[in-house]
Structure 1
Amino acid sequence: MPTSGSFLKGADAQWKDVGEGRRMQMLCYNDQLMMLRWEFAQGAVGAPHTHPHTQTAYIESGVFDVTINGVTERLGAGSSYVVDGGVLHGAVCIEAGTMVDAFTPMREDYV
């Protein structure tokens, strides 16, 4: 995975297979902010979870059922959402696609 810094060229952003139809591409980050991309196969699940970080996500492609605090919305390309720290959330991929996540502060568990 790349180290933190001001620039990261696309060719240098490596994908990591995390299993169950998902893979993650670490983009740039510093102590306060982290951005990464997720690729989901149809039917892949981002299991419901919480973390202390505030998270935003942008759906690049595909269709996802995103559940935040018990409310589910079907989101497609161009849609986005925000999750406050400590709030239960997850996603199910309806049509294969990608989303870009940003976290503040950065998630040390992903480095």
Structure 2
Amino acid sequence: MGLIPADELISYDMDLTRKEGEESKALAKFIHGTAFTMTFWTFKTGAVIPEHQHEHETLTTVLSGSLRLVVDGETMILRAGDSGLVPSWAIHEAEVLEASEVIDVYTPVREDYVARQTGKFETYLATSQDRT
């Protein structure tokens, strides 16, 4: 419990579609609680979050900009102030329509993001996306 100063959060390159030599279009800062992960995203126009699914229920809130969020085949356009709910194990993807700042709240904790922060890349994205 306590203050978590914004200037002490580290930005991580989370652009999974970036080609070598290209600038990242997706940066993230993480806060982990005992039962949730909160992610502060900064996206550039054109960023793509490929189709995927995971155990985490997710609340996505757009602070600025806009994005297209597709959840189990349903398309939503989220603009500043809008939120979208992604149920556990729902197939989802997103495309950033204009530069955006977004907050995602996940429950339970995103252990794969914890692994990303601690440099354990071999487990990054694997842990939470395996239903077995």
TM-score (ref. length: structure 2): 0.76
2:113 aligns with 110
* Structure 1 residue aligned with 2:73: 70
> Tell me, which stretches of 5 or more residues in structure 2 are unaligned?
19-24, 115-132
Q: Could you tell me which residue of structure 2 aligns to residue 10 of structure 1?
A: 6
* 1:98 partnered with 2:94: no
**Structure 2 CA distance, aligned partners of 1:33 and 1:90?**
21
Whichever of the two has the greater Rg, that structure is 2
- Given candidates 31, 36, 46, the residue that maps to 1:33 is 36
> Matched residue of 1:11: which SS?
helix
Which structure would you say has the larger RCO, counting Cα contacts within 8 Å and 6 or more residues apart?
1
Q: Spell out, residue by residue over 1:54-110, the C-alpha distance to the aligned partner (whole angstroms, 9 max, x if none).
A: 111110111101101101111110000111111001110011111100011110100
CA-to-aligned-CA distance 1:31-75 (integer Å, 9 cap, x gap): 211101111110110111100011111101111011011011111
Larger helix fraction of residues: 2
Q: Aligned AA for 1:88? A: I
Percent identity (aligned): 29
Unpaired stretches in structure 1, ≥5 consecutive residues? none
Query: Under a length normalisation based on structure 1, what TM-score does the superposition of the two structures give?
Result: 0.89
Secondary structure at the aligned position of 2:89 is classed as coil
* CA–CA separation in structure 2 for the residues paired with 1:31 and 1:88: 25
